[in-house]
Amino acid sequence: MPKRWNIAPHDPTTVASLEKSVGVSPILARLLAARGVTDPKQIRNFLDASMANLREPEELFGIAEAADRILAATKAGRKIVIYGDYDADGMSSTAILCHCLEAIHAQPHWYVPDRFDEGYGLNSDALRRLKQDGAELVVTVDCGIASVAEADVAREIGLELIITDHHNFADRLPAADVLVHPRLPGSEYPFGDLCGAGVAFKLAWAVATRSCGAKQVTPRLREMLLQCVGLAAVGTIADVVPLLDENRVYVKYGLKCLREKGGPGVTRLLKLAKLSDKSSLNSEDIAFRFAPRLNAAGRLGQAGCGIELLTTSDTERATTLANYLHELNGQRETEERSIQLAATKQIKETCDPDADPALVLAGRGWHAGVIGIVAGRLAERWHRPVVMLARDELQAKPAIGSVRSVPGFDVHAALMACRELLITCGGHAAAAGLRIEDKKIDAFRKAFLSEVATRMPKELRQAQIQLDGETTIAGVTLQSIGELERLAPFGQGNKRPLLCASGVTCAEPPRTMGNGDKHMSVTLLQNGIRIRAVAFGGAEWIPHLPPPGEPFHIAFKPKINEFRGRRTAELELLDWRPDGIDVSVDLPPMADATA
């Protein structure tokens, strides 16, 4: 679908002031101003993102008591179980507390619910089994804050329960012994966007300092924390929380720790993801190449392998696990392509994506662990909230659903308005999950579309690209990109700078690239300057792009391509427009393939 291009305005006076007061380049000053980062102290913290910018863990409500309970249980020799989640954030969170328990000489035990039989979050039957197996303290990570009934069960059976989470609340808080959450009602914690691994790291930090009785921890505990900040970086990136404030610190500092202290499993998985030869890791490397291999394990019901990979010190075992996760990722990609083809066909046959406020799709045989990825891709393509439902082929079990939203729309609120039709649901504004009886899918589809139509403003129904400015191909150099990289890490809440250029032409016909020929590579030309450009998922553009020599507009991210030790500037294309159309106004309706 055509996208609206919005070029960010800038105040020359503010930009000039930043150049002088902070000592940054004009392009960096403009980008900081566009992001609303204009206070000199704020700018220094933003650009430095040092470990000193992390707040003391005790500032997070409940952390002190949770750490004391863990230390008391360790001293008493009680069995502690870490209850995690099956995505990359949950695996990282679980691994962090396992490393923490090992470092204080406690025996770590962990439990992750079965994605398909138990679903997300605390499970009452699982708690009873853990109690029967000798568990005395359960510490949740990345889950539990909405598990009200399950927390009541824990209390009934005499199971001490600490809940650490970052997700949205239910109608009331669970009656756990301790709650740790950055947005607890009544809490004054200044940054509410930590992910599960970010919260788990704070708890591990508090356990370390309290076990030493001082902020200066032992070398053993220091090494543990350095390894864990790398895992916190993985969870922060994979869970797509805003890369602002403390999350910038986790990622900027943690990426170095991940490579240097991640352990044999991380080292092997980085090699399989073709990241080990890079001079340094960035957030996109984790988001698109490392984390998907962890998530593949969770999506295909093997989350335990991911946790073991992140915690084992056995090199041979780590290699076996990394190889297995790499194979699972290949299976996940095959499943994903198959489901996306079927879902796209269903859209064309049963939906009106231009008029429908949302898309609710259901299919038998769809893998429940993969539908979330496809929902995200379809939401991005059609710029509509998308619900994907994996129906049981024998109709013996409820359908499992994944929901993905578009920027600015709270899909969790719309889902909660339909909860009387659902068995369970949970999540946050951008993504959610649900279970529903097969026979209620049609009623849910009608109700959900109605809720989205009522709640979603018309302006959110058109995809938009927020451009930081306009430049020329000649302006995209290693030096200029190096300046942009000072804003890294990039991700949610701090997007990689996006620019546009006009009057570019194809120097030669574009070609497909990548597995399945889904992507496009092309050499672009402007005023005699050539540069390579790639468009991920852009193979469908090829029949519609102007022939070599005819100009058009492009929207792109400037990037550095590092290959066999050689670094070159290149463009990642996000969108294009025919020549003769003002890039600052809306495009007229045109074929979807040009979107």
Q: Is 282 inside any structural domain?
A: no
On the question of pLDDT at 138 being above 50, the answer is: yes
Q: b/e map of 542-551 (b: 16 or more CB within 10 Å)?
A: beebeeeeee
Q: Is 254 inside any structural domain?
A: yes
As a whole number, mean pLDDT of residues 87-91 equals 95
As a whole number, mean pLDDT of residues 545-556 equals 95
Calculate the CA dihedral of residues 34, 456, 593, 595 and round it to 10 degrees.
Answer: -10
| Residue 584 and residue 548 share a domain | yes
pTM: 0.87
Burial category of 533 from C-beta neighbours within 10 Å (exposed 0-12, middle 13-18, buried 19 and up):
buried
| Residue 103 and residue 251 share a domain | yes
For position 594, what pLDDT does the model report?
A: 32
Q: Count the Cβ atoms, other than its own, within 10 Å of residue 116.
A: 16
Q: What are phi and psi of 576, to 5 degrees?
A: -150, 160
Q: Is 248 inside any structural domain?
A: yes
Give the containing element (helix H, strand E) for 80: strand 80-83
DSSP per-residue string spanning 510-552: -EEESGGG-EEEEEEEETTEEEEEEETT-GGGTTTSPPTT--E
Cα–Cα distance, 573 to 440 (Å, whole number) = 42
CATH number, domain at 397?
Answer: 3.10.310.30
Report the share of the chain in percent with pLDDT over 90: 73
| Residue 474 and residue 447 share a domain | no
Q: Which of 161-165, 214-218, 497-501 has the highest mean pLDDT?
A: 161-165
Q: Where are the alpha helices (DSSP H) in 300-370?
A: 303-311, 315-350
Q: Is 548 inside any structural domain?
A: yes
Which of residues 588 and 307 earns the better pLDDT score?
307
Cα–Cα distance, 507 to 525 (Å, whole number) = 6
Q: Look at residues 259, 275, 304 and tell me which one is the last residue of a structural domain.
A: 259
As a whole number, mean pLDDT of residues 65-76 equals 98
Closest CA to 278 of 290, 294, 264: 290
For position 1, what pLDDT does the model report?
A: 59
On the question of pLDDT at 588 being above 60, the answer is: no
Polymer length of the chain: 595
DSSP state of 497: P
Cα–Cα distance, 63 to 415 (Å, whole number) = 31
Q: Is 341 inside any structural domain?
A: no
Q: Is 15 inside any structural domain?
A: no
Structure tokens at 535: 């468009």
What separation in angstroms does the CA of 351 have from each of 12, 358, 380, 387?
47, 9, 16, 13
Residue span of the structural domain in which 448 resides: 351-461
Report the share of the chain in percent with pLDDT over 70: 97
Q: Look at residues 461, 480, 508 and tell me which one is the last residue of a structural domain.
A: 461
Number of domains comprising the chain: 3
In contact, 106 and 80? CB cutoff 8 Å = yes
For position 585, what pLDDT does the model report?
A: 54
Cα–Cα distance, 24 to 28 (Å, whole number) = 6
| Residue 421 and residue 567 share a domain | no
On the question of pLDDT at 70 being above 80, the answer is: yes
On the question of pLDDT at 39 being above 70, the answer is: yes
Cα–Cα distance, 239 to 231 (Å, whole number) = 12
| Residue 554 and residue 515 share a domain | yes
Query: CA 428, 342, 593 angle in degrees (round to 5)?
Result: 85
Taking only the tens place, the pLDDT of each residue in 497-547 is: 999 999 999 999 999 998 778 899 999 999 999 999 999 989 989 999 999
Q: Is 33 inside any structural domain?
A: no
For position 107, what pLDDT does the model report?
A: 94
For position 583, what pLDDT does the model report?
A: 56
Cα–Cα distance, 591 to 315 (Å, whole number) = 52
| Residue 134 and residue 238 share a domain | yes
CATH number, domain at 553?
Answer: 2.40.50.460
Cα–Cα distance, 314 to 331 (Å, whole number) = 26
Q: Count the Cβ atoms, other than its own, within 10 Å of residue 50.
A: 13
Spatial neighbors of 304 by CB under 8 A, at least 6 apart, are 112, 297
For position 8, what pLDDT does the model report?
A: 84
For position 23, what pLDDT does the model report?
A: 84
Q: How confident is the model at residue 179 (pLDDT cuts 50, 70, 90)?
A: very high
| Residue 473 and residue 392 share a domain | no
Taking only the tens place, the pLDDT of each residue in 392-435 is: 887 778 999 999 999 889 999 999 999 999 998 887 788 889 99
Closest CA to 571 of 509, 526, 514, 518: 526
On the question of pLDDT at 582 being above 80, the answer is: no
Over the chain, what is the mean pLDDT?
92
For position 463, what pLDDT does the model report?
A: 83
| Residue 437 and residue 505 share a domain | no
| Residue 419 and residue 470 share a domain | no
Residue 190 identity (one-letter amino acid): P
| Residue 444 and residue 485 share a domain | no
CATH number, domain at 141?
Answer: 3.90.1640.30
Q: Look at residues 461, 476, 499 and tell me which one is the last residue of a structural domain.
A: 461
Spatial neighbors of 585 by CB under 8 A, at least 6 apart, are none
| Residue 212 and residue 68 share a domain | yes
On the question of pLDDT at 358 being above 60, the answer is: yes
DSSP state of 144: -
| Residue 456 and residue 470 share a domain | no
Q: Are strands 80-83 and 109-111 parallel, antiparallel or unpaired?
A: parallel
Q: What are phi and psi of 407, to 5 degrees?
A: -55, 130
